[in-house]
Structure 1
Amino acid sequence: MSRASRNTVSGRIYRRTRPRGFADWSPKPDTLRLVEQVGAVLDEYREHLPMTARQVFYRLVGAFQYPKDEKAYDRLQENLNRARRARLIPMDAIRDDLAASAGHSFGYTSPAEFWDSVRSSAHSYARPLTEGQQRAVEVWIEAQGMLLMVAEVTQPYGVVVYCSGGFESVCAKYDAAARIASRQVPTTVLSIGDYDPSGLSILDAAAEDVAAFVAEMGGTPPTVKRLAVTEEQITSYGLETAPAKAH
């Protein structure tokens, strides 16, 4: 812990604070072992970096028998923060999907830069991969942290991935329905999410709600298919199940 901070935005003085910026750290042997295991996970998934703390957590559970409970996850998050401040783990290897921004700065530093961007755009011209297809396909994924990884798989096929974790929102379901209803061809939705009562009920409710909105808009309700996780996949791959949450 650091000494009292005197130059704070609010003017408050704190007797104890967490480390600020980069900071030296001397973890205990068991914590250092955990940091080394995290390094192994990051190396294994180096083509998919950055990863979220939750993704690292699940891989630690599968590869190193790390405890699968919320206390262990909270402990991992704290150690990840300290390890990154101590430069034991690259800062840009972990991402936080809660961070958000809006707006952008637009402009060119010179006419030459503008024409370079025009030439670059011309080189990347392509017709939509979905053009002429009899059905449109989109993917709904429950975990926002997996969005970029799944998109790497679907992008070559021209398939867009949407996070359905926020589909408890009426606005989100209405937006999905408007997108589907505007298409000239039927839509197939491939769903990816946890196999638990909460996740399945959210999917069922979202599928019914979106379909009802689409029908009201005069469109063709989507066909929703469960891609993962399924009961068969749990059996085939020996997937671990999460313990029930304490109430």
Structure 2
Amino acid sequence: MPKIEYKSIKFQQKSLELIRLVNQVVEEYQAQGYELTLRQAYYQLVARGYIPNNERSYKNIGNLINDGRLAGLIDWYSITDRTRNLRSNSHWDNPADVIASARYSYLLNKWDGQPNYVEVWVEKDALVDIVGQACRPLDTPYFSCRGYTSQSEMWSAAQRFISQDYLKVLDESECGQLWWGSLSDRRKDIIRAIPNFDSDIFFQCTGVRVDE
């Protein structure tokens, strides 16, 4: 793992201690097979009581990690950026390599024939990789809401649920109405705002009366 000094920087003792804590957190998660983003590392420092939770603190830790990398004190591979990635075509030396690569992509649907359809949604994008490591072995789709789910994604999710007959399973129970009653007004409004939403059709599929 490269720690490369590109710039000589004199840090205060407090900053050196914080750099040590950053490295400690990163190494703990690397040992478990996780790569942390800047925001994930920040939240870990906040959760452990090392720094306050506010926008200024987040900017300060970002600047400190940048300087720590330039000074050769923090590994360049220790923090990952999942939102800005180079995209390119895949290449193989010969057709045999293509076939060898494809065999690892061949997966049977473990949920085929199961009575329930399952998705895992997580609010913060900073947690999606951690959730993904648990979901992938179970062949369970997962999704990051990134704070507020877009109307487009809510509509797409509804189409997935309908195609899996997931909504119809709730017809024979009170689960749907209990779920609807537990939603905030904002989340109810998001569902009502789905294009061509029809409360009668929604009731036929789910047993949920949106006006209750």
Q: What is the match of residue 162 of structure 2?
A: 181
Q: Give TM-score, length-normalised by structure 2.
A: 0.72
Cα deviations across residues 6-34 of structure 1 (Å, max 9, x unaligned)? xxxxxxxxxxxxxxx93332211110000
Q: What is the match of residue 110 of structure 2?
A: 129
Write the letter of the residue equivalent to 2:146. Answer: G
Q: In the superposition, relative to structure 1, how do residues 203 and 84 fare at CA in structure 2: closer, same or farther (>3 Å)?
A: farther
Aligned residues: 188
Write the letter of the residue equivalent to 1:38. Answer: V
The structural deviation recorded for 1:156 is: 2.2
Secondary structure at the aligned position of 2:119 is classed as: strand
Q: What is the match of residue 148 of structure 1?
A: 129
Q: What is the match of residue 88 of structure 1?
A: 73
The structural deviation recorded for 1:138 is: 0.6
Say whether 1:109 aligns with 2:93. Answer: yes
CA distance in 2, matches of 1:184, 1:138: 14
Write the letter of the residue equivalent to 1:143. Answer: K
The structural deviation recorded for 1:201 is: 6.4
Q: In the superposition, relative to structure 1, how do residues 63 and 97 fare at CA in structure 2: closer, same or farther (>3 Å)?
A: same
The structural deviation recorded for 1:78 is: 0.3
Q: What is the match of residue 28 of structure 2?
A: 44
Secondary structure at the aligned position of 2:48 is classed as: helix
Counterpart contact for 1:61–1:68, Cα < 8 Å: yes
Write the letter of the residue equivalent to 2:78. Answer: A
Q: In the superposition, relative to structure 1, how do residues 39 and 165 fare at CA in structure 2: closer, same or farther (>3 Å)?
A: same
Write out aligned runs for 1:144-223 (5 A).
144-165=125-146, 167-186=148-167, 203=187, 205-206=189-190, 213=197, 220=205
Higher strand share: 1
CA distance in 2, matches of 1:222, 1:38: 50
Cα deviations across residues 131-177 of structure 1 (Å, max 9, x unaligned)? 12111111111111111111111222221111112644222222222
Secondary structure at the aligned position of 2:60 is classed as: helix
Q: In the superposition, relative to structure 1, how do residues 177 and 185 fare at CA in structure 2: closer, same or farther (>3 Å)?
A: closer
CA distance in 2, matches of 1:214, 1:109: 54
CA distance in 1, matches of 2:63, 2:53: 16
Say whether 1:26 aligns with 2:10. Answer: yes
CA distance in 2, matches of 1:110, 1:133: 39
Report runs of 4+ in structure 1 exceeding 3 Å deviation.
Answer: 184-188, 200-210, 212-223
Say whether 1:66 aligns with 2:51. Answer: yes
Counterpart contact for 1:178–1:217, Cα < 8 Å: no
Alignment counterpart, residue 56 of structure 1, candidates 26, 41, 50: 41
Write the letter of the residue equivalent to 2:154. Answer: K
Cα deviations across residues 71-123 of structure 1 (Å, max 9, x unaligned)? 11110010011112223111222122432556x314432233234334x34xx
CA distance in 2, matches of 1:100, 1:214: 40
Counterpart contact for 2:132–2:142, Cα < 8 Å: yes
Counterpart contact for 1:49–1:94, Cα < 8 Å: no
CA RMSD of aligned residues (A): 3.4
Counterpart contact for 1:181–1:217, Cα < 8 Å: no
Q: In the superposition, relative to structure 1, how do residues 50 and 213 fare at CA in structure 2: closer, same or farther (>3 Å)?
A: farther
CA distance in 1, matches of 2:112, 2:118: 12
